[in-house]
């Protein structure tokens, strides 16, 4: 039985090496199912590297649903969605004054929520169609912006740890006092 298995594996190795020798004459991009000219005749349409689709709004559930919708539309159109994130809400305090005075009539607390969807390698022609679809389906009270990804956008998404910052400042002040 061992000889039979060894003989079959040896035959298989011979077939594989014979096939490899035969395929050495062909270029590396050769494929059985795709002809060579498909590689050389690729489109010259410009491609955007990394873009952020930024959506902001006052209503949290509406914004979450719209972010999900943007993701589904982008992936169904063949756009590669690399990342998606939420930033901490921006809290606003709005005061309404009585007419002709500085006395407050009412006080409102609003939160502006922000979501970002990062897309990469988007063709120029496809981006215009994607943006038109997103603009026509934009819910009321939600704003949409598209911009290139910058390192500052990466820093905004993280919440600073105030306790850690205070401890670092305390440590620096102690090391300065020791040196004196």
DSSP per residue, 112-131: EEEEEEEEEEEEHHHHHHHH
Give mean pLDDT, residues 123-129.
90
**Predicted local distance difference test score (pLDDT) of residue 156:** 67
Q: Is pLDDT at 137 greater than 80 in this prediction? A: yes
CATH T-level assignment (fold) for domain 45-158: Alpha-Beta Plaits (3.30.70)
Query: Whose structure tokens read 């902001």?
Result: 56
**Global confidence as pTM:** 0.62
Given this model, what pLDDT does residue 61 score? 93
The predicted model gives 151-174 an average pLDDT of: 76
What is the pLDDT, as a whole number, of residue 155?
66
User: How far is it, in rounded angstroms, from Cα 147 to Cα 127?
Assistant: 12
pLDDT band at 73 (very low <50, low <70, confident <90, very high): very high
Sheet holding 142-148, edge to edge: 80-97, 104-123, 47-57, 142-148
Mutual angle of helices 124-136 and 60-76, in 10-degree steps: 150
Average pLDDT, the chain: 79
Contact 27, 91 (CB under 8 A): no
């Amino acid at each position: 039985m061992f000889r039979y298995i060894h003989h079959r594996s040896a035959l298989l190795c011979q077939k594989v090496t014979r096939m490899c020798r035969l395929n050495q004459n062909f270029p590396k991009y050769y494929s059985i199912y795709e002809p060579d000219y498909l590689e050389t005749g690729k489109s010259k349409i410009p491609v955007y590297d990394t873009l952020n689709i930024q959506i902001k709004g006052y209503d949290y559930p509406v914004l979450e649903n719209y972010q999900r919708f943007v993701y589904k539309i982008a992936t169904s159109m063949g756009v590669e969605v690399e990342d998606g994130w939420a930033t901490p809400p921006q809290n606003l305090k709005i005061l309404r004054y009585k007419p002709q005075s500085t006395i407050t009539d009412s006080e409102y607390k609003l939160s502006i929520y922000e979501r970002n969807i990062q897309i990469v390698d988007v063709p120029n022609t496809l981006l215009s169609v994607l943006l038109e679809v997103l603009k026509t389906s934009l819910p009321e009270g939600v704003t949409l912006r598209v911009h290139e990804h910058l390192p500052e956008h990466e820093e905004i998404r993280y919440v600073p740890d105030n306790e850690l910052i205070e401890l670092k400042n305390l440590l620096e002040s102690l090391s300065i006092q020791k040196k004196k």
